[in-house]
Structure 1
Amino acid sequence: MASQPNRKIAAAVVREDAEQKQRLLDRAFALAFKGLVYAQIWEDPVVDMEALAIEPGNRIATIASGGCNALSYLTADPAEIVAVDLNTAHVALNNLKRVAAQRLPDYESFRRFFAEADSVANIADYRTFIRPHLDETSRRYWEGRDLVGRRRINGFASGLYKRGLLGNFIGLAHLVARMHRIDLKQFLGAKTIAEQRAIFDEKFAPFFDRKLIRWITDQRSSLFGLGIPPAQYDALADGKPMADVLRGRLEKLACDFPLEENYFAWQAFGRGYGRGKAAPLPPYLQAGHYAAVRARAERVTMLHANMTDMLAANDAASFDRYIFLDAQDWMSDAQLAALWTEVTRTARPGARVLFRTAAEPTLLPGRLPDDLLSRWDYREDASLDYTRRDRSAIYGGVHLYVLKDA
């Protein structure tokens, strides 16, 4: 019998009304998704915070994922952030980050733990400063062993960002590239955007024309490592060969933003954050935000829950901001309607909803009942601008909706 966490993930992913082959693929993804997927979230928090316009005192509902964005929102001084996730590993990671922000002795140790994440000193700090204050469930997770017998907490001594489903996928991509005599780390030596473009055009772009790569990426299971289930694969492809879609997204990541500003590129091409004080980092890991994150970390409430169920348990007019990442790409029409019913009920005046989609257009028109969708104003021009400036470059669209005046 499936465990409760596995049942929650399966309920969110498996399309029971689909053909048997599709259901089997969905169940395979649910199995892959039950462990750590994202050690680092892949949505740009700078774009998020601009779109959300978080004000002091706001109450925020967000999907947690790797936790980078939830903690980064603290820099805007909200009253509370309720972060939910169906993945128990993500819940444990968020709890670890929150306690570490509060309990590690200084910024240097906090940065070493999460920005470098590859020092044996981190394990000593975990035992001394974090473990005594960590909840029992999260402690059991980190002190337990993964599928190959390694203690999970030891990932912070050997390179956390090389672990998890996404970390393994990026590592495999580096291996396949090396087999074709392409060194992805070479990209990190570029000094200008012009050099970044030259390396991409010469080394990376032709890689996606290889027959083997085109065949592999045409398999729906090939992108499980990116955390993309079969239903989202179809939206991402949008009728095009997946190799061409991936080349376009990688081109944006590689060529649209300077390396010194884009830590997503460092994760993709270097399998970790850059070294040195000038290396780009998420807001929660930046020295200038450390005091605020440390002082406000207790405002993050982490729940192992479904977003719709969490909202249903809260009072009317009790939230100001909502962040759904790309979770709606997985949802049926009935699930979307249930979610937005609770969003509309719990939204305070001026509430904002931000989400991403694998495809470019917003997915709500034609799928939400008109009486729900008509309550919200889609900021189309702003959404296009946020999409253009999202440094992670993975998503086709970043979408902002604002509650209309009653």
Structure 2
Amino acid sequence: MSTAPHWSRRMFARMNALLSPITFSITLDDHRTVSRALRPLPGDRILCLASAGDTPLNLLVHDPAEVVAVDLAWPQLHLAALKVAAVATLTRTDLELFLGVREFGGDPAGARLRIYEVLRQDLSADAREFWDAHLGMIRRGVVWQGAVQRIAPLGGPLVRLRRVLHGQSWSVDDNPYLLPLLSRRMPAPDRLPPYLAPHSHPAVQARAGRIRLVHSGIREVLRDGSGFDCVALSNVADWLTREQVDDLLARVAAATRPNARVLIWSRRRRMRSSRPLSSVLTAQPALQQHLRHTDRIGYLRTVLVLNRLESS
């Protein structure tokens, strides 16, 4: 069976490349869904996707020992590195200004460039080179510069209509994910994701150094690593064949500790496997159903929450 991504994924990737080198500048993984599925404990080692950097930063509220954030796309890693450096260094007001969450003063674009000059010394050489070549994205606020964030407002009316047909409000002002996605506005401070929220930002800032960014595929990290207590795989299954899903789950079983928690979902199709779950992984059907219906993005077709058991 071919291991090439489905044609729709290839078209999606090409369209994104035309709009921006960064696909996601805001991670479309509801932090509430991730936390409820993983139930992280202080001292846990967590593996997740880097994406736009939001998920690894949000997970710091749980006081993990380490968050290993993985991505194959260098631009996503450079964005994550910039956000981590900003969170670690800036006051919350300057962080909101720099990222583009809020506009302050008469020259926000100039202020962002001045802040970047301070932050760039904390970036790797590759990340500095990338951002030095994309200062326009810095000036405009990086949270709005992803290809998805640029094009998604065009589909806003359809998403709002779908919400109404499902018995929800036309307004998305109370939704911290759909509001910036469809309206290019950030929610009120008490609805911001944890790494930006007033009550949790200090803890996240103090723990920012616990994030380790890795340029790799998730399956390779699972093959070479071990001892993870939580694994958040987002929708990686959408890009895999059935055989590759089987391989992914086998690697999860091998790389996690007993009682580890795993979250994986599918956005484009039902996640398919050609074999039953490993004997050391058990699904949580009630929780899966609950999370699928309470996720605030609202387009998950399958949610799989797994617990790692003791080996038999």
> What is the match of residue 209 of structure 2?
298
Alpha-carbon distance in 1 for matches of 2:267, 2:10? 20
Alpha-carbon distance in 2 for matches of 1:389, 1:347? 27
> What is the match of residue 383 of structure 1?
288
Deviations for 1:180-230, whole angstroms, at most 9, x for unmatched residues?
A: xxxx9xxxxxxxxxxxxxxx9xxx53xxxxxxxxxxxxxxxxxxxxxxxxx
Query: Would you say 1:110 and 2:21 are equivalent positions?
Result: no
Alpha-carbon distance in 2 for matches of 1:281, 1:252? 25
Distance 1:32 1:290, change over 3 A: same
Q: How far has the Cα of 1:340 moved from its partner?
A: 1.8
- Give the superposed CA RMSD: 2.7
Q: How far has the Cα of 1:252 moved from its partner?
A: 5.8
* SS in structure 2 of the partner of residue 285 of structure 1: coil
CA contact (8 A) 1:162 1:171 kept: no
CA contact (8 A) 1:115 1:273 kept: no
Distance 1:253 1:301, change over 3 A: farther
> What is the match of residue 14 of structure 2?
31
Larger Rg: 1
> What is the match of residue 35 of structure 2?
49
Q: How far has the Cα of 1:277 moved from its partner?
A: 4.1
Query: Would you say 1:309 and 2:220 are equivalent positions?
Result: yes
CA contact (8 A) 1:67 1:94 kept: yes
TM-score (norm 1): 0.68
Distance 1:271 1:97, change over 3 A: same
Between 152-161 and 383-392, the greater mean CA deviation after superposition: 152-161
Alpha-carbon distance in 2 for matches of 1:52, 1:256? 31
CA contact (8 A) 1:59 1:81 kept: yes
Q: How far has the Cα of 1:31 moved from its partner?
A: 3.3
TM-score (norm 2): 0.87
> What is the match of residue 346 of structure 1?
255
> What is the match of residue 154 of structure 1?
136
Q: 96, 108, 113: which is aligned to 1:123?
A: 113
Q: 117, 120, 125: which is aligned to 1:136?
A: 125
CA contact (8 A) 2:189 2:198 kept: no
Between 376-385 and 165-174, the greater mean CA deviation after superposition: 165-174
The one-letter amino acid paired with 2:304 is H
* SS in structure 1 of the partner of residue 300 of structure 2: coil
The one-letter amino acid paired with 2:135 is I
Q: How far has the Cα of 1:392 moved from its partner?
A: 1.4
Distance 1:163 1:107, change over 3 A: closer
Query: Would you say 1:100 and 2:67 are equivalent positions?
Result: no
Distance 1:378 1:159, change over 3 A: same
* SS in structure 2 of the partner of residue 354 of structure 1: strand
The one-letter amino acid paired with 1:323 is A
Between 391-400 and 112-121, the greater mean CA deviation after superposition: 112-121
Corresponding residue pairs, total: 302
Alpha-carbon distance in 1 for matches of 2:3, 2:65? 29
Alpha-carbon distance in 2 for matches of 1:284, 1:358? 25
Q: Name the structure with the higher helix share.
A: 1
Q: How far has the Cα of 1:141 moved from its partner?
A: 1.1
Q: 156, 162, 179: which is aligned to 1:266?
A: 179
Alpha-carbon distance in 1 for matches of 2:50, 2:221? 13
Q: How far has the Cα of 1:157 moved from its partner?
A: 2.8
Query: Would you say 1:163 and 2:69 are equivalent positions?
Result: no
Alpha-carbon distance in 1 for matches of 2:58, 2:112? 22
1:6-17 equivalent positions in 2, closer than 5 A: 14=5
Alpha-carbon distance in 1 for matches of 2:68, 2:38? 15
CA contact (8 A) 1:44 1:391 kept: yes
> What is the match of residue 330 of structure 1?
239
Alpha-carbon distance in 1 for matches of 2:206, 2:166? 36
> What stretches of structure 1 of length at least 5 have no aligned partner?
1-10, 16-21, 145-151, 178-183, 185-199, 206-246
The one-letter amino acid paired with 1:82 is V
* SS in structure 2 of the partner of residue 132 of structure 1: helix
